[in-house]
């Protein structure tokens, strides 16, 4: 979607994992919370996103993955955008049931060299232990991608993030896609809601 729509994709989870790996001040502060699946503080995450989207590569627009996750983040971000004459055009809700999410997330892993994503059951590499794309033989699994932590993250989602749906619905920017569909179908649905915006 990045190339097709000329947007820069930013994942707040990815930004935080890099901070943890690089042992930055923020990384040290959030490491424990992330490992147990807790959300990190609102002001920290909003400041991090605000700083990042001011960089040049975000000038023609961004896709935010994993942000905002609480009403307070959404309100702070709204203010930030309004002050700069920017707007949020579209929010995509990925509809999926919780147990399917536990299975999907707990089974995923990626190539440590090129980042290609895999799944134990749904998308194993063609040759066991070897990346299809780059031939790498080392893989990574996120510390928080285990069934217990995923269930905890889903609870947080229902309590802290689901209320955002009403907030965005009232703004008229919310669209849903069926995240239970297969990957190709889901990509088509995403493209069509993005094209319509």
Summarize as ranges the residues that interact with ligand AMP (CB under 6 A). 11-13, 16, 33-34, 37-40, 45, 66-69, 73, 144, 153
Distance (Å, whole) CA 100 – CA 166: 24
Residues with Cβ < 8 Å from 99, sequence gap 6 or more?
Answer: none
Nearer to ligand AMP, 28 or 188 (CB): 28
CB-closest chain residue to ligand AMP: 13
Q: How far is the CB of 120 from ligand AMP (least distance, A)?
A: 18
For the chain, give the number of residues: 197
Q: How far is the CB of 146 from ligand AMP (least distance, A)?
A: 12
Distance (Å, whole) CA 30 – CA 17: 9
Cβ atoms 92, 173 nearer than 8 A = no
Q: How far is the CB of 46 from ligand AMP (least distance, A)?
A: 8
Cβ atoms 113, 134 nearer than 8 A = yes
Nearer to ligand AMP, 137 or 152 (CB): 152
Cβ atoms 5, 38 nearer than 8 A = no
Q: How far is the CB of 151 from ligand AMP (least distance, A)?
A: 12
Nearer to ligand AMP, 73 or 177 (CB): 73
Q: How far is the CB of 177 from ligand AMP (least distance, A)?
A: 17
The CA–CA distances, whole Å, from 48 to 8, 27, 69, 134, 166 equal 16, 12, 14, 32, 25
Q: How far is the CB of 153 from ligand AMP (least distance, A)?
A: 5
Asked if the bond preceding 68 is cis, omega within 30° of 0, the reply is yes
Helix (H) or strand (E) holding 121: none
Nearer to ligand AMP, 128 or 177 (CB): 177
Nearer to ligand AMP, 143 or 181 (CB): 143
Which two tokens mark 184? 């190709």
């Amino acid at each position: 979607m990045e190339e097709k729509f000329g947007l820069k994709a930013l994942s707040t989870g990815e930004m935080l994992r890099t901070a943890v790996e690089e042992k930055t001040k923020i990384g040290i502060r959030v490491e424990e919370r992330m490992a147990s699946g807790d959300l990190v503080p609102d002001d920290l995450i909003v400041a991090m996103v605000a700083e990042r989207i001011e960089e040049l590569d975000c000038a023609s627009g961004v896709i935010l993955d994993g942000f905002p996750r609480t009403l307070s983040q959404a309100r702070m971000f709204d203010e930030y955008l309004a002050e700069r004459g920017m707007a949020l055009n579209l929010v995509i809700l990925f509809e999926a049931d919780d147990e399917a999410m536990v299975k999907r997330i707990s089974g995923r892993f990626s190539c440590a060299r090129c980042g290609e994503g895999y799944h134990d059951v749904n998308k194993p590499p063609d040759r066991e232990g070897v990346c299809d794309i780059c031939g790498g033989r080392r893989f990574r699994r996120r510390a928080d991608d285990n069934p217990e932590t995923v269930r905890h993250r889903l609870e947080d989602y229902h309590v802290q993030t689901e209320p955002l749906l009403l907030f965005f619905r009232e703004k008229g920017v919310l669209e849903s896609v069926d995240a239970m569909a297969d990957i190709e179908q889901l990509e088509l649905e995403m493209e069509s809601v993005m094209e319509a915006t």
